Structures are given as C-alpha cells and as structure tokens.
Amino acid sequence: MKANTTKGEVGSFGEFLEKFNFVQREYPASLLKISSMKTALITGASSGIGRELATCFAQDGTHLVLTARNTQELEKIAVHLKQSYGIQIHLFTCDLASPNGANELYQFCQSQGIHIDYLVNNAGFGDTGLFEQTDWSKNEQMIQLNITSLTHLCRLFIPKMKVAKFGRILNVASTAAFQPGPTMAVYFATKSYVLHLSEALHNELETNGITVTALCPGPTETNFAQAAGFKSDGIFDNKKKFPSAQEVAVFGYKAMQKGKTVAIHGILNYIQANASRFFPRNWVVKITRWMMS
C-alpha cells in the first residue's frame, strides 16, 4: 500500500531534510555541545581559585551558578565568561557564613529550575593566632562556612544527583587537613573535616555515578594570607613563589573530572602531607608549629 503523500508535501519534507543535513554538516560540534551542557555551582566564585574554576567550566561549555558576597566582582566575571564562551550564568549574592546561607542558595536554584551537575564548595577562610586570643565570632563564622554550609550543600544537592545518576563534587580542603595546626587550630581542624567528609561521601556515592574530590592545595597566590592576618615574613613570605590560583584550579578541575578522591597539588605538598603518617604525632604538631612561626 502506497503512502498517500502529495507532491507538495514531498517537496516540503525534502526541503526540511536538506536544511537539517546542512545544519548537521556545518554545526555538528555545536549541536553536540548544546545537547551535553551541564551546570556547575561554584561558591566563593568572586576571586582566587573559585574564579579560576569558573573559567575552567566555562571553557568546556558548562553553564554556571556563581555565588559569593561580592556582587560587583561576580557581575564582572559573568560578563567576561558570557562574552567569551556563550554560556548561561546565574548569579546569587549570598553569605554562606550565615546559618541560612546554604538553604537560600539551594532555594534559588530550585526557583530557577536549575539542576546542579557539578557542586564546587570553594568558599572558605582562615585566621591566625593562639586559640584563646582569637575572636570567637570569627571562629564561629569559619566553622559555619568551612564546615556547616559545605556539608549542608552536599546534603541538599546529592539526592537529585542520585536520581540523575551523575554528579561531581569538588570540596576545596587544604594540605592543612593532614595535621593539627597550632596558631591556626580551628582552620586546620575545619579542613581536616572537609577531607574526611569527602573521602567518606566518595565511598558512599561512587556506585551511583557520583564522585567527591577533596582538593588540597598548599600556599597559593590568592588573598587568603592577607584575609587570615599572616605577616609578610612568615610562611607566606612575599619573596616566596607560590603556585597561581589558575594552576591550582586547573589541577583540581582535572582531578574532579577523573573522579579522584584526594588531589594534593604539588610534589612537595604531596610528600609533606603523606610524611606525617610516619612520624609520632607530637613531632608532627611541633614541626607544624615551627613552620607556622
């Protein structure tokens, strides 16, 4: 039985096929890129490693949700990345050092209908000084940002990643995670928490298509030292050459995409982080105190 098709219909369908084949010939990579675009949420995206990670994702055509406290810097980054890579970017000004910050960020993504494929918990800060002399409100904010909000965001976004059977989480820890840190006791402890949480979650989730990576950089060329109150003649001596934020971000991005559990940047940092396992713990603490001074 022949199909009942008029000459005009055949012509219209033929024109459609011709146009479709032309698009496939001329723009195959673009079509593939559009169909595979995912979305990454990056905290602390206004500067340093967070800003460079945003560029890494944008270069691969990943849409972005960027959050930080500095709206003006976020807007500058968004304009640059949109113009350079043609991706969609949502901005949300938020203070994750406040108790409601993580939930507000999650609700924003829900209200915009955004599914998060990549979660990057980059926001964090440190402080220096003998513990009993430190500002308690600053310690409280540090614990809220470095630990509580990071944990809450993981808990909020993981269930939908499990449904999608895909997810990548990058938690920015530090080489500080591998030993106690006199004169930065709270900061070192928060980063140790991030490392151990990441390792545990990776084990729980890897069979669901989700990986969790703890990025552990050493001293890096960012504004961390200034914000933490380091003196210029200490571990962050101005004369010392440290890796750039871009170097660390690219390293962490590649490790996350490979699904690595722990990514320590730099061979010397790797040796130092692992060497602590072979010395008595009281030695490790004393050596760390000497290095911090």
User: What sign results for the dihedral spanned by CA atoms 245, 145, 159, 77?
Assistant: negative
- In angstroms, the CA 97 to CA 85 distance is 31
Asked whether 264 and 216 are in contact (CB, 8 A), the reply is yes
CA-closest candidate to residue 94, choices 103, 105, 108, 109: 105
**Structure tokens, 39:** 């979305």
DSSP 127-155: --S-GGGS-HHHHHHHHIIIIIIHHHHHH
The catalytic position among 187, 193, 253, 270 is 187
DSSP 64-116: EEEEES-HHHHHHHHHHHHHHH---EEEEE--TTSTTHHHHHHHHHHHTTPPP
- In angstroms, the CA 76 to CA 94 distance is 17
Which residue stretches of the chain are H helix?
Answer: 7-26, 28-36, 48-59, 71-85, 101-111, 136-143, 150-164, 185-205, 224-228, 245-258, 267-275, 281-292
Q: Which residues contact 17 (CB under 8 A, 6 or more apart)?
A: none
3-class DSSP assignment, residue 125: coil
187 assigned to active site: yes
Residues noted as catalytic: 187
